[in-house]
Structure 1
Amino acid sequence: MARVFPEGRLAYGMQLPVQSQSGLYAERWEAAAGPEDLVAVARAADRSGFGYLATCDHVAIPRRLATAMSAVWYDPVATLAHLGAVTENLRLLSHVAIVGLRHPLVTAKQYATVDQLCGGRLVLGVGAGHVPEEFEALGVPFAERGAVLDESIDALRVALGPQEYPSFRGERFAFQGLGQLPRPLQSRVPIWVGGSSPAALRRAAVRGDGWLPQGDPREELPAQIARLRGLRERAGVAEPLEVGAITEPLYVGRPGWDTGPRTLTGPAEELAASLRAYADMGVDQIQVRFRSRSREELIDQVTAFGREVGPLLAT
């Protein structure tokens, strides 16, 4: 069992700004921001009771996608290790690592080291990836990425386990008699599976400790969660599964500027009531993102959420 957050309270974390700057969610001020801004926001979240910080993963973005996705994607291993050194309490999540782009022993070495450096706070989020050129450049067949991810998760269960000399044999990867130290500080590193396709749901149900949906609309989540739990039950997996959700963009208070049509705004009680509906659906943790026009405004929002909204999320 590798449950991260206790039952009975809706946990909350956030995807960090700056480290990935897709046009889907990055704020304008992030384009000129850097590591010092990233650290300042991470420290504010740590002080404010957030359950985790998350970073994304892409190795290289083709020109055809650069306008929409941007080419700014910090390496998640380096970023999480850096953030682990400047925070104390919150978990560090890769949301998500495209582990199929790398050999499982490489991934295990990197993330086991992060877990040691951060005092056992790692949550390994994994996903299949979606950029064909990225896979082609790294010599991984894009069409086989789902099967590669399935086997990678199985291999990582072993490679991140307690044995100094792990042993695994699959169709694509095999290793034995090869020692890796340091081992993770956690006896079992939680693996959360990202994605909302039927294949991703099956993968999370059968192989995951948690599920990270990719922005499913709120009204679609109950059916997805029911499907997920049914798949897990039929697979005979008895361990609990931590279910996540990405909320609508948030702004604590009444903004004096246009925060966009989907943004949830209002006083703490109003926001908390809306967010508790996720718990009613069976969600265990929510990932929040705040609208902001500067680093200072984002830190103010993070602080206000932790102080005013977080305490109202008990279920």
Structure 2
Amino acid sequence: MTDYGIQLPVQSQSTIYAEEWEAAAGAEDLVEIARAVDRAGFAYLAVCDHVAIPHRLAPAMSTVWYDPVATLAHLAAVTERVRLLSHVAVVGLRHPLLSAKQYATLDHLSGGRLILGVGAGHVREEFEVLGVDFGQRGAVLDEAIDALRAALGPDEFPTHHGKFYDFEGLGQRPRPAQRRVPVWVGGSSPAAVRRAALKGDGWLPQGDPRDRLPDQIARLRRLREEAARGGAAVGCGMEPLTIGAITEPLYVGTPKWDVGRRTLSGTPEALAESLRAYAEMGVHQIQVRFRSRSRAELIDQIGMFGADVAPRLS
């Protein structure tokens, strides 16, 4: 069966996807939704990352972006089994030892439930105010992944010597509960796909439509196979790559309101039949998002998906 996860509402409120009711929602809503996700058998819940939004982007993006580590730690304490994904952490904005301290602690406290999703970022002003070269963000991310691999590994005193980061002889505890924290690379540009193939344990596309996914997946596999034959992919160790996809918006059942023309709606079997196409392309996990008018309606949708749609995804 294809795994399924969800990007949580409330914690990020871009006008591209936020529902009206989220503007007045808060911590209690996030907790109840996370508990519903946990009960419904979702593989993961995810939160986003932005430090500060400039005026020029605020009308579209809003300025509501909860901190991923604080939010995931809060939700770890009120859930039991669901994994905790940063989708995605802009790790180039922070020194790897700082990120490692935060995410290692999160993994330790949650009993090994972290998936570290990383991405290059796109807001120039965030990089400038934090003193990071926006033009070098791709190269910074490439090295940050390597540095984080070292800092989140089993060694209490990790070592990394690179162009942007250099450290050794500095110990950090607690260590992650997992021996190897999965690193999923986000993004759909050619550079991001290559980065996922060569350095990632998973790929998180950014809104690729269905008709584009097969070519992207074929490129991922080709790059990874070429690297394996050449012995170049030291970062990911050539472990199996978890390929993801973000589905169309969903509504389980027949909606009595306008859910938008792109939204997939209908019976559980009809939705499952449509979503099974992702697995046929080679996708291992799908990220879903439900249309809703309230927290109660969203929780109902989550429950119906877990009970009635997910068992039919095989």
TM-score normalised by length of structure 1: 0.97
Matches within 5 A, 1:115-194: 115-194=107-186
Shift of 1:182: 0.3
Match of 2:31, as an amino acid? V
Q: Which runs of 5+ in 1 are unaligned?
A: 1-8
Match of 1:17, as an amino acid? P
**In the alignment, what sits opposite 2:3?**
11
In 1, Cα distance between the equivalents of 2:174 and 2:57? 38
In 2, Cα distance between the equivalents of 1:58 and 1:161? 26
Shift of 1:153: 0.1
Match status 1:253 vs 2:264 = no
Match of 2:226, as an amino acid? R
SS in 2 for 1:161: coil
**In the alignment, what sits opposite 1:309?**
309
SS in 2 for 1:235: helix
Match of 1:203, as an amino acid? R
In 2, Cα distance between the equivalents of 1:218 and 1:22? 22
In 2, Cα distance between the equivalents of 1:295 and 1:116? 30
Structure with higher RCO (Cα < 8 A, 6+ apart): 1
SS in 1 for 2:149: helix
**In the alignment, what sits opposite 2:279?**
279
Shift of 1:92: 0.3
In 1, Cα distance between the equivalents of 2:282 and 2:172? 38
Match status 1:216 vs 2:184 = no
In 2, Cα distance between the equivalents of 1:179 and 1:14? 35
Shift of 1:117: 0.9
RMSD of equivalent CA atoms: 0.5
Q: Which runs of 5+ in 2 are unaligned?
A: none
SS in 1 for 2:57: helix
The one-character-per-residue Cα deviations of 1:258-281 (angstroms, maximum 9, x if unpaired) are: 000100000000000000000000
Q: What is the percent sequence identity of the aligned residues?
A: 74
**In the alignment, what sits opposite 2:15?**
23
Shift of 1:87: 0.3
**In the alignment, what sits opposite 1:270?**
270
How many pairs are equivalent?
306
In 1, Cα distance between the equivalents of 2:55 and 2:29? 27
Shift of 1:313: 1.0
In 1, Cα distance between the equivalents of 2:195 and 2:227? 11
SS in 1 for 2:176: coil
The one-character-per-residue Cα deviations of 1:186-226 (angstroms, maximum 9, x if unpaired) are: 00000000000000011000000000000000110000000
In 1, Cα distance between the equivalents of 2:83 and 2:144? 23
The one-character-per-residue Cα deviations of 1:16-40 (angstroms, maximum 9, x if unpaired) are: 0000000000000000000000000
The one-character-per-residue Cα deviations of 1:67-119 (angstroms, maximum 9, x if unpaired) are: 00000000000000000000001100000000000000000000000001111
In 1, Cα distance between the equivalents of 2:265 and 2:65? 29
Match of 2:184, as an amino acid? W
Shift of 1:145: 0.1
Identify which of 75, 82, 88 aligns with 1:83.
75
In 1, Cα distance between the equivalents of 2:199 and 2:261? 37
In 2, Cα distance between the equivalents of 1:221 and 1:126? 20
SS in 1 for 2:303: helix
Match of 1:71, as an amino acid? T
In 1, Cα distance between the equivalents of 2:157 and 2:25? 42
**In the alignment, what sits opposite 1:58?**
50
Q: Which runs of 4+ in 1 moved over 6 A?
A: none
